[in-house]
């Protein structure tokens, strides 16, 4: 079956899906409003199924790829949820110490896509660590709808401390050189922006379509930023002018790219919002940026 892309869907439906993904609509609300986009033989429920992630089909690096060592590890978070958990991926061959990259998921927890992203980074000869914000609630439940329902139950102040603790844990791992970066997507992009305001020793930060910090917090950023935005993403893009002004006012090194014709989530290759050309370009820029700033 030919894989669908964003161009196969009405922009109005994609906007509805964005509201659903980010909690502004529940499943029932989405289905009710999506009915007007249904056509002969295609129901609103079928449209939702087409838009939802297809993890197996999109996987790039197998879980048991022999080039890698992967494991789930617990790490301490004294200011957060005391103890929490993440997915660690690094090259299997002895490469000496390597730079570390924190990988921050979307608002679903540590799903198979984000684990795959961590493995992709490990193949680029980084130590990749992907924490699971849902670990205190039992971890990613293996179902996107259940994950979506769990996410609002998190204490976000504690969750932010868990990510800060994860960055410190990664930095001190024996395989890590001590140089660390962070990359995150959607919710995770916002977390990466937050980490840049809180961690003066973060060496590189790459937020994909993430919420921006306040101008006051942006003034605290020391790490260079590579910022990726989607074209059709008014909700997130509305915060860019103020963020850009704060970064410029405080001489924070930054580069921003907006990818024409793309949707929020364009890097996530498990859904039709994925834009192959834009995602590959953004990813190569990300790898180049990490190599430049972490090696």
Q: In whole angstroms, what separates CA 210 from the centre of its chain? A: 9
Are residue 32 and residue 123 in the same domain, yes or no? no
Are residue 31 and residue 65 in the same domain, yes or no? no
Structure tokens at 247: 């970064």
CB 118 within 8 A of CB 128: yes
The neighbour count for residue 233, using CB atoms within 10 Å, is 21
Strands 225-232 and 68-77: unpaired
Per the DSSP assignment, residues forming a β-bridge with 23 are none
pLDDT in tens, 70-115: 999 999 999 999 999 999 999 998 778 999 999 999 999 999 999 9
What is the total count of domains within the chain? Answer: 2
Report if residue 1 sits inside a domain.
Answer: no
- Closest by CA to 150, choosing from 163, 162, 160, 140, is 140
- Closest by CA to 107, choosing from 166, 32, 185, is 185
Report if residue 56 sits inside a domain.
Answer: no
Domain that holds residue 208: 61-294
CA gap 60, 71 in Å, rounded: 18
CATH of residue 125: 3.40.50.1820
Are residue 67 and residue 32 in the same domain, yes or no? no
Are residue 262 and residue 134 in the same domain, yes or no? yes
Residue 2: predicted pLDDT: 61
Are residue 128 and residue 196 in the same domain, yes or no? yes
Are residue 21 and residue 139 in the same domain, yes or no? no
Are residue 33 and residue 125 in the same domain, yes or no? no
Are residue 38 and residue 182 in the same domain, yes or no? no
Q: Among 51, 71, 86, identify where a domain stops.
A: 51
Structure tokens at 129: 């660590």
Report if residue 271 sits inside a domain.
Answer: yes
Q: 85 φ, ψ to 5°?
A: -145, 150
Residue 1: predicted pLDDT: 45
CA gap 253, 248 in Å, rounded: 8
Are residue 199 and residue 156 in the same domain, yes or no? yes
Report if residue 246 sits inside a domain.
Answer: yes
Report if residue 108 sits inside a domain.
Answer: yes
Model's pTM, two decimal places? Answer: 0.92
| Residues lower than pLDDT 50 in the chain | 1
Residue 25: predicted pLDDT: 84
Per-residue burial over 109-146, b if 16 or more Cβ lie within 10 Å, else e, is bbbbbbbbbbbbbbbbebbbbbbbbbbbbebbbeebee
């Amino acid at each position: 079956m030919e894989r669908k892309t964003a161009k196969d869907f009405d922009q109005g439906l994609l906007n509805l899906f964005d509201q659903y993904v980010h909690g502004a609509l529940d499943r029932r609300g989405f289905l009710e409003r999506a009915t007007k986009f249904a056509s002969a033989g295609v129901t609103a429920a079928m449209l939702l199924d087409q838009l939802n992630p297809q993890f197996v089909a999109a996987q790039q690096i197998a879980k048991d790829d022999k080039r890698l060592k992967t494991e789930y590890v617990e790490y301490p978070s004294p200011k957060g949820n005391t103890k929490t958990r993440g997915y660690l991926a690094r090259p299997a061959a002895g490469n000496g110490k390597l730079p570390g990259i924190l990988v921050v998921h979307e608002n679903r927890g540590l799903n198979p896509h984000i684990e795959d992203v961590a493995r992709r980074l490990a193949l680029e000869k980084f130590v990749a660590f992907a924490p699971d914000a849902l670990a205190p609630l039992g971890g990613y439940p293996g179902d996107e709808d259940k994950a979506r329902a769990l996410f609002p139950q998190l204490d976000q102040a504690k969750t932010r401390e868990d990510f800060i603790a994860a960055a410190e844990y990664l930095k001190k791992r024996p395989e890590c050189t001590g140089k660390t970066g962070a990359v995150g997507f959607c919710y995770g992009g916002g977390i990466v922006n937050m980490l840049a305001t809180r961690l003066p020793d973060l060496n590189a930060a790459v937020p994909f379509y993430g919420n921006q910090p306040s101008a006051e917090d942006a003034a605290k950023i020391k790490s260079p930023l590579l910022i990726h935005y989607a074209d059709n993403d008014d909700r997130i893009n509305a915060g860019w002018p103020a963020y850009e002004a704060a970064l410029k006012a405080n001489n924070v090194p930054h580069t921003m790219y907006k990818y024409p014709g793309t949707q929020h989530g364009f890097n996530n290759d498990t859904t039709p919002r994925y834009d192959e050309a834009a995602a590959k370009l953004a990813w190569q820029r990300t790898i180049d940026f990490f190599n430049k700033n972490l090696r």
